[in-house]
Structure 1
């Protein structure tokens, strides 16, 4: 009977202590979080309750399983399993605590910062730092687990002796992986590209959705995801529309007839922009940028606060101006001239001087 009660009492006691400590820790953190709502650290640390309980319970069982007589015929196996679980739980707890600290620091910085570009830069760095810490802790935990086996400890000297050769072989074999790894670190701390940036890569326009140590995900305007190695952004040119400031200048081109009333069109453009919320009011213009024997090229210049607004603004201006020309000045639309240009009676609203017959030359059929 004692051989049954002792193991049960040790296991039950460990569970009771674990649950009690976990409840007390969660209660204390919740009270602190209520008193200091401006600091998200305490709420984030509450996520560490489960790994803390696993560490505590495993440590208690690891220290008392021999005296309790838990599976006395398999003490070595039980001790080895508990040791492995304890190492894994400790790594889990360390990762949770590190992530909580990093996320809390970022949240406080983002709440005070006014520069959106700098916030995106810090977010990118925080994300990569979190991944690096997780990877390092996992590697250390796995190495610690392997070293608990006697065979691995015996082979440790030979492994260290051949570490130089293995490192060279691994470096050659994983050359592209290492290149992407260092490129990821360069992106994180070199401010090349950040999460949320608007970029153009290989002719595709999109936003950076995720950055890891080896690859980067760009979400295009039509909701496709393009996954690219991070080394692309350190070895090839690409467009970053929001690196220092998301404000943009856009253009709309029109191919029109030479008789187009540019002054009226300019006034119409200004009136349209005043009523469009996408226009930020910084700048605008409408000028003739090129001419051909049959048409002129008119450029409307617009400004907006970001890439989304400039795209909407360009589409609306293009649509409204073409509709205005079609409705009120149809003679300004491009056409093939097979006769002399119309006179003032056919274009009463024009302010520019109409072309004369001498400028046009003899009409068709004349000599």
Structure 2
């Protein structure tokens, strides 16, 4: 038996009751039938997709709320069409159902956005060795999705308000005399609009991406999350730095993985002038070759400066990610110092004492040279 036949039959059986009682019963029956029909349909769909791909199971679970709201709204709409309502009651019920329909469209739009971004981002893995492309698409998609969700909510609320005649007339008059009022509203919303437009600019130009290694405000960390208004930086010691989106448009910062996840690490060491540089160079190459952190791209040893008593030696090594570079630099320091202590202890910085002979039988002098 069809749903409309059930409802009309119930109306005929309840004709002896007052009109408001009949309407109330019809709405209650419609609501109960809608919940029952949705529950049965949801259980059937859950069993059908139980052995399917994760996407289909997620799709059914994510659409549970919107689907139930849709069935309830349709059932109540039909009940309102056959219920013995007065003109005022019918107008009020239709207005409420119109607001529910607007909310339903917004809910479906947000759910569709979530499902689409989930499907799109399944192709990209942030835990890959070279995740530059993944970081680019994940960042862009998440920022644009959040902005789109905000726009959906704003449009839905505006549409709901415009269903009221008083609000609609006020909106028209406000637009007609928008001089000072528009200026006040613009100033009040300046921080919000500033971050919204900054989010759009970040999504398009992408000066930062999810999991980028950045040096900002003297702190080193990785971009953990980008919302519609702020960015969360996970610092090296697990603290979190929260910055507004506009910061990354207006102020300078260092992005260590802007074009490539790989980085070149620098190790500076100060050695005595008697140090055999060629032996140090061979040892550095040996340490890098034996390390699982080195990406086999860059290894170099150069004397970059002369100090008063030591020479500055720069060691360059590369790795696939910023954490690997940090660990490789520490490993290089430890092993090269151990090598020098063992093989060339005289190569480490030291203080020399030189005794000068007296010119005419005087007392000898000792000078220290560091």
Q: What is the match of residue 364 of structure 1?
A: 356
Q: What is the match of residue 89 of structure 1?
A: 104
Q: CA deviation at 1:225?
A: 1.2
Aligned equivalents of 2:288, 2:139: Cα separation in 1: 36
Cα distance change of structure 1 residues 221 and 30 upon mapping to structure 2, 3 Å threshold: farther
Moved more, 23-32 or 252-261: 23-32
Aligned equivalents of 1:126, 1:21: Cα separation in 2: 32
Number of residues paired by the alignment? 341
Aligned equivalents of 1:42, 1:105: Cα separation in 2: 16
Aligned equivalents of 2:144, 2:288: Cα separation in 1: 44
CA offsets 1:57-88 (integer angstroms, 9 cap, x no match)? 03321442474469999766655545444432
Q: Pick from 168, 180, 189: which aligns with 2:195?
A: 180
Q: Pick from 64, 73, 77: which aligns with 1:49?
A: 64
RMSD over aligned CA atoms reads 3.1
Q: What is the match of residue 298 of structure 1?
A: 313
Aligned equivalents of 2:222, 2:350: Cα separation in 1: 40
Give 1 or 2: higher strand fraction: 2
Matches within 5 A, 1:113-152: 116-152=131-167
Q: CA deviation at 1:14?
A: 3.6
Moved more, 219-228 or 160-169: 160-169
CA offsets 1:277-311 (integer angstroms, 9 cap, x no match)? 11111121222222223112121111111111110
Q: What is the match of residue 33 of structure 2?
A: 16
Cα distance change of structure 1 residues 306 and 109 upon mapping to structure 2, 3 Å threshold: closer
Aligned equivalents of 1:109, 1:286: Cα separation in 2: 37
Q: Is the 8 A contact 1:216 1:230 kept in 2?
A: yes
* Structure 1 unpaired stretches of 5+: 340-362
The SS at the match of 2:222 is: strand
CA offsets 1:304-335 (integer angstroms, 9 cap, x no match)? 11111110011111112212222332222211
Q: Is the 8 A contact 2:226 2:232 kept in 1?
A: yes
Cα distance change of structure 1 residues 132 and 15 upon mapping to structure 2, 3 Å threshold: farther
Q: What is the match of residue 261 of structure 1?
A: 276
The SS at the match of 1:282 is: strand
TM-score, normalised by the number of residues in structure 1 = 0.81
Moved more, 311-320 or 72-81: 72-81
Q: Is the 8 A contact 1:124 1:211 kept in 2?
A: yes
TM-score, normalised by the number of residues in structure 2 = 0.80
Matched, 1:104 2:119: yes
Q: What is the match of residue 359 of structure 1?
A: none
Q: Pick from 210, 226, 232: which aligns with 1:195?
A: 210
Q: What is the match of residue 307 of structure 1?
A: 322
Aligned equivalents of 2:23, 2:251: Cα separation in 1: 68
Moved more, 209-218 or 301-310: 209-218
Q: CA deviation at 1:28?
A: 4.4
Aligned equivalents of 2:308, 2:168: Cα separation in 1: 86
Cα distance change of structure 1 residues 115 and 297 upon mapping to structure 2, 3 Å threshold: closer
Aligned equivalents of 1:366, 1:190: Cα separation in 2: 73
Q: Is the 8 A contact 1:41 1:100 kept in 2?
A: no
Cα distance change of structure 1 residues 47 and 216 upon mapping to structure 2, 3 Å threshold: same
Q: What is the match of residue 288 of structure 2?
A: 273
Q: Is the 8 A contact 2:34 2:75 kept in 1?
A: no
CA offsets 1:159-197 (integer angstroms, 9 cap, x no match)? 331346533332234334333222211110112211111
Aligned equivalents of 1:164, 1:64: Cα separation in 2: 47
The SS at the match of 2:298 is: coil
Cα distance change of structure 1 residues 333 and 101 upon mapping to structure 2, 3 Å threshold: same
Moved more, 41-50 or 264-273: 41-50
Q: Is the 8 A contact 1:199 1:240 kept in 2?
A: yes
* Structure 2 unpaired stretches of 5+: 1-12, 360-370
Q: Pick from 285, 309, 331: which aligns with 2:300?
A: 285
